[in-house]
Structure 1
Amino acid sequence: MALTKKDIVDRMQAELGFLRNKSVEITESLLELIKASLESGDDVLVSGFGKFCVKEKKERKGRNPATGEDLMLKPRRVVTFKWSGKLREKVDGK
């Protein structure tokens, strides 16, 4: 099961004692800040969690899987995530 924004808001409300409106506001503000940073090409580093990086992909050859037709894929930007050692240890159960 995936962790949703609603889950984050509910946990903030239950564990930190914030009112629901404040929890929603904080969650939305944090996500908007992250999106704005990535949109401008900046990396987002969260200590103990990981780093979101924006990578440039060049134009490249591709293939339509339905038709088998060759085509050129346009250059684009993608977001990658590199997890921290601390997060890796937690996920691995060490």
Structure 2
Amino acid sequence: MTKADLVESVYLKTGFSKKESAQIVETVFDLMKSTLEKGEKIKLAGFGNFVVKNKATRKGRNPQTGDEIEISSRKILTFKPSQVLKSVINSQD
């Protein structure tokens, strides 16, 4: 599903215009981005949690040369689905 598909679904289910639907979808994504940028967690009941985690600096190896390199610390985004979402996905066998 793409962002355009989301806009179309909002349009069909709410009765808003396509322009308003696109603004709604963009606003939700912008709010999620800014919340995650601040390092805050997003908890969506019945869906899951988005969490920004810090990965520490670590040693790695260049696979081509075998040289040891340092992989710098960075932030990563993780998603953990809720039990409700897991059961919905797994019930469609």
TM-score (norm 1): 0.92
Structure 1: where are the runs of 5+ without partners? Answer: none
The match for 1:72 is: 70
| Aligned-partner SS, 1:42 | coil
- AA in 2 matched with 1:68: G
Runs of 4+ residues deviating >3 angstroms: none
- Identity percentage over the alignment? 38
Aligned residues: 92
Which of 81, 88, 91 is matched with 1:90 structurally?
88
Q: Calculate the aligned-residue CA RMSD, in Å.
A: 1.2
Cα offset, 1:62, TM superposition: 1.2
Structure 1 residue 68: deviation in Å? 2.8
Cα offset for 1:70?
A: 1.6
Q: Whole-Å Cα distance in 1 between the matches of residues 63 and 2 of structure 2?
A: 32
Aligned to 1:28: 26
Once the two structures are TM-superposed, the CA of residue 14 in structure 1 deviates from its matched residue by 1.3
Structure 2 gap segments, 5+ residues each: none
